[in-house]
Structure 1
Amino acid sequence: MINIVGQIMLYVNNQEESVKFWTEKAGFTVLSENDNGAMKWFVIAPSKDAQTSIVLHNKEVVAKFSPELNFGTPSLMFFTKDLDQLYKDFNDKNITVGEIVNIPGGRVFNFADNEENYFAVTEIK
């Protein structure tokens, strides 16, 4: 039985710029920076105690080791307790955001990272 999603691999073209986006604009924390000589990766999360983290891998380097992998961006849905405030914060930080829309489960908006990968945020109560 699987009990939790531990990590999500996000393959990016520029790790340093992606780390800056996720930490400086989206408010994530770097949990670790790892380098085994052959490759380097960053583990980030919304907070130090988050159950799920995102691992930022260099797409080009990983493709050399595992060309069979799917390097497409995963469709990620983030949760927030204050959608309006997060929307304002993202706009203030010049993050590309879509309109807030109503869906059967509540309200949601999408946003793009520095590499124009799109993600979504929905409000939880």
Structure 2
Amino acid sequence: MINQIGQVMLYVNDQDQAVQFWTEKVGFIVVSEDNNGHGMKWIEIAPAQGAQTSFVLHNKQLIAEMQPELNLGTPSIMLFSDNLDALYEDFKSKGITVGDVVTMPGARIFNFADDENNYFAVMERK
């Protein structure tokens, strides 16, 4: 039986640039970094140490060559924040592309783009 979502794999064009974006701009930390010695490197990042769910950054081109049947598109991911307005202003001040804050029934949300123009959403959850 599955009891938890552990990791979400993100396939990126430039792993180093992706790490820099997620750590320096978004505020995630690097949980682990592994290299199999044959050119395959994977980097686990998360909002904080001990987070239940993390992202694993993979080299998109390498994975496409190894497993061409995989869908390498970015999944729709909803992140949570307990202070949406402060996060929105922080992202804007760091030059992150952000959409408008939208009020939905029971939630406020905004989208942002990483350096490869993949979009993610943040919802206020108090």
TM-score (norm 1): 0.98
Q: In structure 1, what residue type is equivalent to 2:69?
A: E
Map of 2:10 onto structure 1: 10
Alignment of 1:1-125 (within 5 A): 1-38=1-38, 39-125=40-126
- Counterparts of 1:4 and 1:85 in 2: how far apart (Å)? 29
Q: In structure 2, what residue type is equivalent to 1:111?
A: F
Q: In structure 2, what residue type is equivalent to 1:113?
A: D
1:87 aligns to what SS in structure 2?
A: helix
Residues 45-68 of structure 1 show CA distances to partners (whole Å, capped at 9, x for unaligned) of 000110000000000011111110
The CA RMSD measured in Å over matched residues stands at 0.6
Q: How many equivalent residue pairs?
A: 125
Question: Displaced runs of 4+ in structure 1, greater than 3 A?
Answer: none
Unaligned runs of 5+ in 1: none
CA drift at 1:105: 2.8
CA drift at 1:3: 1.2
- Counterparts of 1:32 and 1:49 in 2: how far apart (Å)? 12
- What percent of counterpart residues are identical? 62
Unaligned runs of 5+ in 2: none
1:97 aligns to what SS in structure 2?
A: coil
Residues 85-108 of structure 1 show CA distances to partners (whole Å, capped at 9, x for unaligned) of 000100010000000000113100
